[in-house]
Amino acid sequence: MLSSFGITVSTISLLLSLSLLYLSYYDLKLSNNKISKKIYKFAFSQILFTFLSFITLIIAYVISDFSLINVYENSHTTKPLFYKISGAWGNHEGSLLLWINILVLFSFLFLILNKDKNKNFKLYTIIFQNLLISSFLIFLLTNSNPFSLLYPTPTEGMGLNPILQDPALAIHPPLLYLGFVGSSIYFSIALAALITKVDSKSLALTIKPWVSVSWTFQTLGILVGSIWAYYELGWGGFWFWDPVENSSLMPWFLMTALLHSVLVLERRIGLYSWVIILSILTFTMSVVGTFLVRSGILNSVHTFANDPSRGLFILSFLALMVFSSIFIFFKHAPVENKNYKIFSKESFILINNWFMVFFLAVVLIGTLYPVFLDTLTGQKISVGPPYYNFILAPFLLPLLFLMTSGPKHKWISSNVIGIFNIALFTSIILFFLIFLSIKEGGLLLLLILLFSMYLITQTTFDFYETFKNKNINLSRIISHFGFGLLILSISLNQIFSVEKSFNVRLGDEKNFQNYTIKFNNLETFSKNNFKSVKGHFEIIDKKKITSQNLTPEIRVYNKPETITYEASINTKLFSDTYLTMSNISNTDVFNIKFQKKPFMNFIWFSVLLISFGGILQFSRFEKRA
């Protein structure tokens, strides 16, 4: 029942999308100033039916309707309600439906929130957005239908992979999609602006809120994904430079570049073409990421079930999108005003863009190079964290420095502000205080520490100035402060991390550095969907004379059959203690891995701060509008 209902509703929303295309195209030729009422009505029904299809899928999950293949393959009656709901977007088909919902949501919001904009500009945006929507709906209905019927109806489902049953992972896809699928709207706006020759100021004002919103969600989405990896995967890391993670980072770099260059476009006429190129590239990178994740051409930690026919569809779509955007761009390329002068602040923003595009290029090359090499020559190589760290880390130094000094420059001709100011002085003192407690760490890492501290102190001083001067951009200060804190915490985390693994038997006691680990007890128990072996360990810090109990687990889930290693993490303000355990086959020996992970909370907090800046930016815009 739900199957045919879902298919009907999705088909209706495809038809509505196609009608919107027709209506908008027809409306372009009419001479009235306002968009016809019909389009609003259709757009409203479109969002209604698209939401309805998504809700249908969620209901199917909640009531465990196994007549849907998708529900059968990814759910189970014994699963908690929360994970039944989140299971709806924890797989390819369901998440594609979420993708489409966000495309439609942004299209609708654009239509109703920009009432007084140029009519044709709006209509073209709606046309491009609906081209995207209908393509993805066709993909959904023909290739990846979440409502496909299964007959005869099984009585029980196959269950959701236990590592996906995690609150962080439940909200991760919606956040991330609001980010990078949200970028579709400025892709459409940019193309529409090219065709209708909208002036730079209104282009800037139109895309700015969308850029801030999508950037904020993208940042939050990446954060939640990292948190999940840290707590659930049990490897003690939070970023692995895995192709799937890279796919979420690539659009982020471009959004960040866009967020900065829009500031220029808003005040002055420069950078018009550049902003358009960035807008097109951002969504292109989002689709590239989607292609990489779902086509299965990459070996990744986070596997989606793969199917080449999906890859083929997304690739064809991507090709069509890229070729037509290039064509439109060159056909309607705006004539840049040659007579405008770049001021110092603009130079800094362009330098920011230079770095962001560079970071994007590195991540893109690192991710795709093995695929290209394999396809062209048959040689297989791996590119991993050492590559990214080696190439990217040195460039953090100038980036941090520019983030500190760049924003101090005025829009119109500025005096160079003294480099040796009070902030730098303070940060050097702070740096030496930290340096005294560090006995190791390379020169580069130490310099990164120093520069991030400079950024932190400078932005702190700036923050105090905002009380005196209301014109200072608070969102910039908070985001930059957050970034400084992020780099500082990651560096300190690198320097002070402790890692040690042992082979132990029950009752063993191991000593190393200042710690003693006792293997006190081993407990086996079973819950309704898994069996567990739980180790009880006591960790004694001899220096601080404290002790803590940690209980890592090995779980064997039965639906589907999976072994997971549950880390036991004791989170303190400054440092986490992280313990994992695995058994060595056919023996009573366990391999345990002890890790001290300092400043993890600071890492999460600083990313929150970064995204908070984005929220402030948005509210600032709202006030002005």
Partner 1 sequence: MKKKYLVIIYSIAIFVFVVLYLSLNKNNVYTTQENIGKKISVIQLDYFDKPGEFNIQEISNFNFTLLNFWASWCGPCRKEHKYLVELSSNSNLKIIGVNFKDDKKNAMEFLKEMGNPFFILTKDPEGKKSVNFGIYGIPETILINKDLKILKKYVGPLSTKDVREIQRIVKK
Partner 2 sequence: MRILSFIIIQLFIITISYGNESKTYEILKNLRCLVCQGQTISDSNSDFALTIKEVVTEKVNEGLSRKEIYYFLSDKYGDWILFNTPLKKNSYFLWFMPYILFILGGAILYIVIKKRTEKIK
65 or 245: CB nearest partner 2: 245
Q: Is 591 in the site for partner 2 (CB under 8 A)?
A: yes
Q: Would residue 545 be called left, alpha or beta, if left means φ above 0 and alpha means ψ between -120 and 50 degrees?
A: left
Q: Is 299 in the site for partner 1 (CB under 8 A)?
A: yes
8 A C-beta contact, residue 478 and residue 609: yes
Among 141, 168, 362, 371, binds partner 1 (CB under 8 A): 371
Min dist. Cβ of residue 12 to partner 2 (A): 39
Count CB neighbours of 197 within 10 A.
Answer: 12
Q: Is 522 in the site for partner 2 (CB under 8 A)?
A: no
For residue 422, the partner it binds in partner 1, partner 2, none, with Cβ less than 5 to 8 A by kind, is: none
323 or 340: CB nearest partner 1: 323
Distance separating alpha carbons of residues 6 and 351, to the nearest angstrom = 49
Q: Is 386 in the site for partner 2 (CB under 8 A)?
A: yes
Among 22, 323, 354, 425, binds partner 2 (CB under 8 A): 354
Burial class of residue 494 in the structure, from the number of CB atoms within 10 Å of its CB (0-12 exposed, 13-18 middle, 19+ buried): middle
**Cis? peptide before 560, omega within 30° of 0:** yes
Q: Which residues contact 278 (CB under 8 A, 6 or more apart)?
A: 254, 257, 258, 261, 353
Q: How far is CA 255 from the centre of its chain?
A: 11
8 A C-beta contact, residue 534 and residue 551: yes
Q: Is 560 in the site for partner 1 (CB under 8 A)?
A: no
Q: Is 40 in the site for partner 2 (CB under 8 A)?
A: no
For residue 358, the partner it binds in partner 1, partner 2, none, with Cβ less than 5 to 8 A by kind, is: partner 2
Tokens 């969907």 sit on residue: 529
Distance separating alpha carbons of residues 141 and 17, to the nearest angstrom = 14
Q: Which of residues 254-313 bind partner 2 (CB under 8 A)?
A: 270, 299-301, 303
Min dist. Cβ of residue 282 to partner 2 (A): 18
Stretch that binds partner 1, among 143-151, 203-211, 325-333, 418-426 (CB under 8 A): 325-333
8 A C-beta contact, residue 158 and residue 194: no
Stretch that binds partner 2, among 95-103, 253-261, 342-350, 479-487 (CB under 8 A): 342-350
Q: Is 366 in the site for partner 2 (CB under 8 A)?
A: yes
8 A C-beta contact, residue 10 and residue 101: no
Q: What is the DSSP letter of 498?
A: E
On the CB side of 554, CA atoms within 13 Å amount to 14
437 or 586: CB nearest partner 1: 586
For residue 158, the partner it binds in partner 2, partner 1, none, with Cβ less than 5 to 8 A by kind, is: none
8 A C-beta contact, residue 57 and residue 99: no
Count CB neighbours of 12 within 10 A.
Answer: 17
Min dist. Cβ of residue 289 to partner 1 (A): 13
Q: Which residues contact 578 (CB under 8 A, 6 or more apart)?
A: 236, 567, 568, 569, 594, 595, 596, 597
Binding mask 389-418 for partner 2 (x = CB under 8 A): -xx---x-----------------------
Binding residues for partner 2, how many (CB under 8 A)? 51
Order across the sheet with 590-598: list the strands: 498-504, 590-598, 575-583, 568-571
Min dist. Cβ of residue 322 to partner 2 (A): 19
206 or 247: CB nearest partner 2: 247
Q: Which residues contact 365 (CB under 8 A, 6 or more apart)?
A: none
135 or 580: CB nearest partner 2: 580
For residue 277, the partner it binds in partner 2, partner 1, none, with Cβ less than 5 to 8 A by kind, is: none
Helices and strands, counts by H and E, the chain? 18, 10
Q: Would residue 156 be called left, alpha or beta, if left means φ above 0 and alpha means ψ between -120 and 50 degrees?
A: beta
Q: Which two tokens stand for residue 243?
A: 């192709």
Among 33, 81, 155, 330, binds partner 1 (CB under 8 A): 330
Stretch that binds partner 2, among 11-19, 158-166, 239-247, 430-438 (CB under 8 A): 239-247
Q: Is 32 in the site for partner 2 (CB under 8 A)?
A: no
Q: Which residues bind partner 1 (CB under 8 A)?
A: 291, 295-299, 308, 311-312, 315, 318-319, 322-323, 326, 330, 333, 371-372, 374-376, 380, 585-586
Task: Give the residues lining the site for partner 2 (CB under 8 A).
Answer: 233, 235-237, 240, 242-243, 270, 299-301, 303, 338-342, 347, 350-351, 354, 357-358, 361-362, 365-366, 369, 373, 377, 379-387, 390-391, 395, 499-501, 565, 580, 582, 584-585, 591
